[in-house]
């Protein structure tokens, strides 16, 4: 790949600043948990798995700067850093999954602060490495669901930019293309922050994968014209019954897919599945600043002060989902029965 999303460096965490793409390809270094939280909140780094990796690395970075007299005080300060990073965004399960893992590693370590710091760096790097392998496995399981000649609609960005690398929904596309299938992608723009046009199109074009951009409102036209064979999106949190939170607009796409009898798939790692949340109604939906809707790429596009709704995610009911492609295989309905068989209780 000609770019990387996130990397652990001696002096901090280097990320590709996704706020500037596609116009500017600039890497920035995050040096402390406050900078990590700001980068997550402002979407300099985004996408559920990438947020998890950034959070884990942010926690490891924060641990280095703790000045505590005893191991007990060290762990208490570390838990404070973890809670702070957890406040960055509410919806993506991977954020909390990664931080729980970091906390377990810190508290399970025998030894003093120095040993814990070393262990936390190793854990953050393991989360990073595993994410890439996980996405490749998602790709292997998902590629058989798409046929040679298919056109696949995707919404938002569930690609290399949303993960440590390779991507989930785009990982399936990459794996299908690598296996010799001719696949075309239709990328929905994804208002208000344009993850589809700015990010998905950018990374697919960089890979030479056939991609066509539409605005979100054109999806209905494309389904009606028979232009879409499959839908594959990522997920931010999947409830125990299969209801899935993903980028705002995903629900509407799933309803269109159902109406037009087009299979709608979710591609996500098991770390996105939240078996402790029974249904989608229990998933916290982030509400973002109204100015994101009142403007378009920083240019005012509505009268100032107009009332706005800006939920960042919506929930697609399990009934609309033909399958959930994970690194352990494709989960089919009934999800309440089949999710525990794949995930167990290690969320
Ligand atoms: O607000 P974002 O850009 O973080 O939203 C991202 C999405 O909704 C993605 O589809 C999801 O996180 C899956 S990424 C593999």
Give pLDDT tens digits for 195-253: 999 999 999 999 999 999 999 999 999 999 999 999 999 999 999 999 999 999 999 99
Q: What is the spatial distance between Cα 117 and Cα 294, in angstroms, rounded to a whole number?
A: 44
**For ligand 1, is residue 123 a contact (CB within 6 Å)?**
no
Given the residues 207, 229, 236, 274, select the one marked as catalytic.
236
d(Cα 244, Cα 2) in Å, to the nearest integer?
Answer: 31
CA angle 37, 273, 76 (to 5 degrees): 45
With a cut of 70, say whether residue 30 has pLDDT above it. yes
Atom index in ligand 1 nearest the CA of residue 286 equals: 1
Please give the backbone phi and psi of residue 310, each rounded to the nearest 5 degrees, phi first.
-145, 60
pLDDT in tens, 244-278: 999 999 999 999 999 999 999 999 999 999 999 99
Global pTM reads 0.97
Ligand 1 centroid from CA 206, angstroms = 20
* Phi and psi at residue 187, to the nearest 5°: -105, 125
Catalytic residue status for 77? no
Strands 264-267 and 273-274: unpaired
Minimum-distance ligand 1 atom for the alpha carbon of 234: 13
CA 43 – CA 40 distance, rounded (Å): 5
DSSP label of 101: H
C-beta 63 within 6 A of ligand 1: no
Tell whether the model's pLDDT for residue 345 goes beyond 80.
no
d(CA 83, CA 54): 14
Q: How far is the CA of 245 from the centre of ligand 1 (A)?
A: 9
Q: Which domains does the chain have, with CATH numbers?
A: 6-136 (1.20.120.420), 140-343 (3.40.50.10470)
CA of 246 to the centre of ligand 1 (A): 6
Q: Residue 43 in contact with residue 19, Cβ under 8 Å?
A: yes
Q: Mind listing the pLDDT tens digit for each residue in 125-177?
A: 999 999 999 999 999 999 999 999 999 999 999 999 999 999 999 999 999 99
Please, are residues 243 and 282 in contact by the beta-carbon 8 Å criterion? no
Measured in degrees and rounded to the nearest 5, phi and psi for residue 182 equal: -90, 110
């Amino acid at each position: 790949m000609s770019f990387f999303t996130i990397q652990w460096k001696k002096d901090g965490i280097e990320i590709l600043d996704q706020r500037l793409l596609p116009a500017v390809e600039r890497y920035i270094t995050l040096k402390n948990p406050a900078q990590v939280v700001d980068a997550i909140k402002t979407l300099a780094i985004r996408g559920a798995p990438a947020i998890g990796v950034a959070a884990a690395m942010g926690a490891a970075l924060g641990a280095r700067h703790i000045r505590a007299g005893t191991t007990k005080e060290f762990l208490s300060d570390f838990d404070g850093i973890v809670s702070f990073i957890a406040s960055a965004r509410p919806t993506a399960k991977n954020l909390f999954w990664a931080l729980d893992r970091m906390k377990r590693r810190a508290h399970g370590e025998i030894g003093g602060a120095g040993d814990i710091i070393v262990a936390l760096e190793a854990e953050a790097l393991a989360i990073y490495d595993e994410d890439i392998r996980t996405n490749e496995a998602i790709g292997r399981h998902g590629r058989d669901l798409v046929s040679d000649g298919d056109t696949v609609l995707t919404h938002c960005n569930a690609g290399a930019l949303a993960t440590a690398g390779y991507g989930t929904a785009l990982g399936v596309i990459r794996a299908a293309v690598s296996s010799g299938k001719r696949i075309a992608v239709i990328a929905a723009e994804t208002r208000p922050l344009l993850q589809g046009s700015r990010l998905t199109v950018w990374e697919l074009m960089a890979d030479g994968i056939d991609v066509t951009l539409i605005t979100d409102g054109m999806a209905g036209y494309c389904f009606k014209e028979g232009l879409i064979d499959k839908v594959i999106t990522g997920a931010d949190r999947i409830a125990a019954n299969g209801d899935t939170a993903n980028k705002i607009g995903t629900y509407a796409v799933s309803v269109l897919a159902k109406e037009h009898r087009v299979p709608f798939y979710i591609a996500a790692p098991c770390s996105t599945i939240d078996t402790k949340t029974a249904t989608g109604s229990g998933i916290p939906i982030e509400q973002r600043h109204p100015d994101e809707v009142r403007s378009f790429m920083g240019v005012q596009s509505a009268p100032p002060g107009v009332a706005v709704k800006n939920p960042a995610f919506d929930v697609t009911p399990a009934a609309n989902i033909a399958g959930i492609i994970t690194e352990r295989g494709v989960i089919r309905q009934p999800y309440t029965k089949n999710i525990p068989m794949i995930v167990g209780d290690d969320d």
